[in-house]
Chains A and B, each alone.
Chain A
Amino acid sequence: MATALEPDAQSVPAQLPRAPRGAAWTVVRTALVVFFVLIGLALAGFGALLGAGYYLSRSASGPAPTVVEEPGTLRAENLKFQKKLDKLRPKGLFLVIDTGKNRLAVHDGERVVREVVVSCGSGGVLENPKGGRSWVFDTPRGERQIKSKVKNPTWIKPDWAFIEEGEAIPKKYGDRAEEGVMGDYALGIGDGFFLHGTLYTRLLGRNVTHGCVRIGDADLEYLHKNVPLGTKVYLY
């Protein structure tokens, strides 16, 4: 028999389903797990590829060299090569010209005795508007030597000098001569290239020439006095 204190069996509500908040949390949690697993897999894959790349960069294919020569033979041969190279290495006074930095170094063996700011070729190109010919104004590279030394040089203007100025090329040789533009001295290094003076001293240190090497007055005088004919000039 039911008492007043006992709850009415029919009035007790049935157990409610789980709160919707819990279901959402499950979905979010699952999504997070999937997300982190995917990120992990991606990182692992990326890491494996990086590792493979790292490995491949250090494992060159092809057979490793096998040394068959005796160390004694190799030592003797290397010594011979060294002696040969020592003989080839420039000695005494020589000039080294860096056409990029526009610097000339006077060497006495390994020692640099004077460094000079110069101007080298501009790398420009001139084409004859009438066609047929073109000039590239580069300073030549490689080994040359001082072939001539001239005091108060006269510039014998080549064809390009007239074309550049838009003038007609003269037929008489004498009409090509121009005084006072090459400074007090000129040192020839062959093929029409000279180390000479300049009127445009403010442009020393820049690549402005038609291939010759321009030098300031004091340095040019020093070179003329101290560099004998036959001195090697290395240009790079």
Chain B
Amino acid sequence: MRRAAIATLLAVLMLGGPSPAQSADDALSLWRENRRLAAETVLAATPKPYFELDLEQRRILLKTRGLVLFDLPVQEQGLWGRRLAVGPTSVVRRDALARPAVAIGDEKTPESLDDQLLELADMPTTYRLGLAGEVEVEVLPLAAGRWPLLFRRLGLGSWQLVRRRLLRPLVTLRERRARHETTAIFLVLKPEDAQRLYWTLFEGLDGILIPPR
């Protein structure tokens, strides 16, 4: 009797299938994957490298021909404003307060060598990227040390807190009233990853944007 009841319950569970909510979720996953693959197939057919800003998995990939060249984890992220869809994008602008620049000199004089070279370490860790479709990405470095970490965990990043939680939302409200909404993305990366990203993402580079659900 008891065995029969358990068998019936198992049969009901197996034949019942997924709930409508789960089906919708699966369909959305399939659709997002479909949009990503459609965009990647186009980009991978060209000889240029391309990036994948994956805010769902919290990572940034650089790829060429479908091959992953690097994979940077996003430490923290925030997204404000207009909803984004999975699809192609490109870097239209790259702004840093102090853009790195050098003039070539005589490399045989090692004393002045550092001043003459543009290397990964010279890249900024705080900068803005303008993506196609009025998307502003602000890249910030992850503060190192015990106190910044504690402050970050407590959500007391002072100026950043005010900017992210007060100022940007006010901009969002103003834009909604004006019916012209843009999207702002904050990305916090390890300093060396932020520099690597600046080195790699130049104006005109194509990519794929995968927003969170």
A-to-B contact residues, CB < 8 Å: 49-50, 52-54, 56-57, 60-65, 67, 69, 71, 74-75, 77-78, 81-82, 84-86, 88-90, 96, 98-101, 122-126, 137, 141-143, 164, 200, 203, 206-208, 210, 234, 236
Chain A residue with Cβ nearest B116: A124
**Do residues A65 and B28 form an inter-chain contact, with CB atoms below 8 A?**
yes
**Do residues A49 and B30 form an inter-chain contact, with CB atoms below 8 A?**
no
Given contacts A56-B80, A236-B62, contact A85 B120 (CB under 8 A): no
Pick the contact of A49: B34, B41, B65, B166 (CB < 8 A): B166
**Do residues B65 and A208 form an inter-chain contact, with CB atoms below 8 A?**
no
Shortest CB-to-CB span from B133 to chain A, Å, is: 12
What are 11 sample pairs from A and B whose C-beta atoms fall under 8 A apart?
A: A52-B169, A53-B169, A60-B80, A69-B34, A81-B40, A82-B37, A141-B49, A143-B48, A206-B113, A207-B118, A208-B117
Stretch at the interface among B9-17, B81-89, B138-146: B81-89
**Do residues A122 and B37 form an inter-chain contact, with CB atoms below 8 A?**
no
Distance in angstroms between the alpha carbons of A125 and B94 in the assembled complex: 19
B-to-A contact residues, CB < 8 Å: 23-24, 26-28, 30-31, 33-34, 37-38, 40-41, 44-45, 47-49, 62, 64-67, 69-70, 78-85, 101-107, 113, 116-120, 164-166, 168-169, 172-173, 176, 181, 183, 196, 199-200, 211
CB < 8 Å A-B pair total: 162
Pick the contact of B104: A64, A74, A137, A236 (CB < 8 A): A137
Distance in angstroms between the alpha carbons of A206 and B110 in the assembled complex: 12
Pick the contact of B172: A56, A62, A90, A96 (CB < 8 A): A56
Residues of B contacting A75 in the complex (Cβ-Cβ under 8 angstroms): 30
Residues of B contacting A56 in the complex (Cβ-Cβ under 8 angstroms): 80, 168-169, 172-173
Chain A residue with Cβ nearest B35: A65
**Do residues B104 and A125 form an inter-chain contact, with CB atoms below 8 A?**
yes
Residues of A contacting B40 in the complex (Cβ-Cβ under 8 angstroms): 81, 85
Q: Which applies to chain A's interface (DSSP): helix, strand, loop or mixed?
A: mixed
**Do residues B176 and A236 form an inter-chain contact, with CB atoms below 8 A?**
no
Shortest CB-to-CB span from A104 to chain B, Å, is: 13
Pick the contact of B67: A49, A84, A124, A234 (CB < 8 A): A234
Shortest CB-to-CB span from B34 to chain A, Å, is: 5
Shortest CB-to-CB span from A137 to chain B, Å, is: 6
Pick the contact of B66: A89, A96, A126, A143 (CB < 8 A): A89
Chain B residue with Cβ nearest A69: B31
Chain A residue with Cβ nearest B198: A100
Given contacts A50-B165, A61-B83, contact A122 B104 (CB under 8 A): yes
Residues of A contacting B83 in the complex (Cβ-Cβ under 8 angstroms): 60-64
**Do residues A49 and B165 form an inter-chain contact, with CB atoms below 8 A?**
yes
Given contacts A53-B164, A53-B165, A89-B66, contact A123 B47 (CB under 8 A): no
Shortest CB-to-CB span from B90 to chain A, Å, is: 15
